[in-house]
Homo-oligomer: A and B are copies of this chain.
Amino acid sequence: MLILMRTTATDEEVDQVCRAVEASGLKPHPIPGRLRTAIGVTGNTGSEGQEQFAQLRGVTEVIRVTKPYKLTGREMKPEDTVVRVGPVEIGNSRPVMIAGPCSVESRQQTVGTAQALRGLGADMLRGGCFKPRTSPYSFQGLGRQGLEILVEARDQTGLPVVSEALTTETFDLVEEAVDVIQIGARNMQNFSLLKRAGMSDKPVLLKRSMSATLEELLLAAEYVMSEGNPNVILCERGIRTFSEHCRFTLDIGIIPVLKQVTHLPIIVDPSHAAGRRDIVIPLSRAAIAAGADGLIVEVHPDPNQARSDGPQALTLDQFEQLVDELGMIIPAVPRCEGVQV
């Protein structure tokens, strides 16, 4: 249920409505907008309370929301959410480029790569410190030491950093160090991790599970938002299909569909979808052309020496080529075309 306040409603009126919602055993989520405040209502809402709330002072309309996802849906918030990370705006008209190595491996590798990437136009730096690995015998990341290196790279370059929070136990560490907290595809339905991310005041980059439907992705984002964190960035990174020529099948069609049903920004990880360097650039062009709000792409100064995911990392030269090509594509993409007004 969504309660629309009048444009002239006072803060006090908003508060009173919220208290009335709580008194009915439901949970209010005030969503301040440019013109007016809306109040999302979650909990086991039937239609009964609807009329009651419509009578309250300052309320102009009460709307039933029929989708299972509420806070993430455009029904509740028609305007695009723009997530701000320092000087970077995600979900605004210009797509953002998040780039960096799969894993933080050393100070030299990471800081050097960050400096090079800044020179080539990257907006943010990515780098894994706690790595989810299919096998217990694979390199698991540098952990806390990696985070320190990331912070140093940010200090030296000004690039905000994003890194994955793998567990609730290590969440605080990651949260303190980074600017955007990544939730990985294998954790998309790790509900305690999602709730913890929802209590953070830092933005969350939520990757789609390789087997999630659009609805399941939005409900995972709903876990984060319903705890109070409105800054969620969705990320498509390929799904599991029978198709063998890529590691995953990039589901390019989810981009324009998400643009219609949610106000959250959506970026694409072409590197994990491809699993092979030689098609990362074409997939990146396709993602931006389809309307993505940005990319998160693996770049390594010497991919053959990478400790994880080397075969899918771009070289710095290739990253430069990618930025050039995207610069020509971006003007061709009407922003938010999918939104039906």
**Which A residues are closer than 8 A to B by beta carbons?**
42-44, 68-70, 132-137, 166-169, 186-187, 189-192, 209-211, 213-214, 216, 219, 222-223, 226, 239-246, 249-257, 260, 273-274, 278-279, 281-283, 285-291, 325-329, 331-334, 337-338, 340
Contact = CB atoms under 8 A, between A and B. Distances in A.
A336 to B, nearest CB: 11
Contacts of A278: 256, 260, 338, 340
A135 to B, nearest CB: 5
Q: How many copies make up the complex?
A: 4
A335 to B, nearest CB: 12
A254 B260 contact: no
Contact of A286 (B69, B213, B226, B252): B252
Q: Which 4 A-B pairs have the closest CB atoms?
A: A211-B211, A328-B332, A289-B289, A286-B286
The interface centre, meaning the residue of A187, A189, A279 with most chain B CB atoms within 10 A of its CB, is: A279
A254 B250 contact: no
A19 B18 CA distance: 65
Nearest to A238: B253
A167 B168 contact: yes
A281 B282 CA distance: 18
A279 B253 contact: yes
B136 A226 contact: yes
A257 B273 CA distance: 13
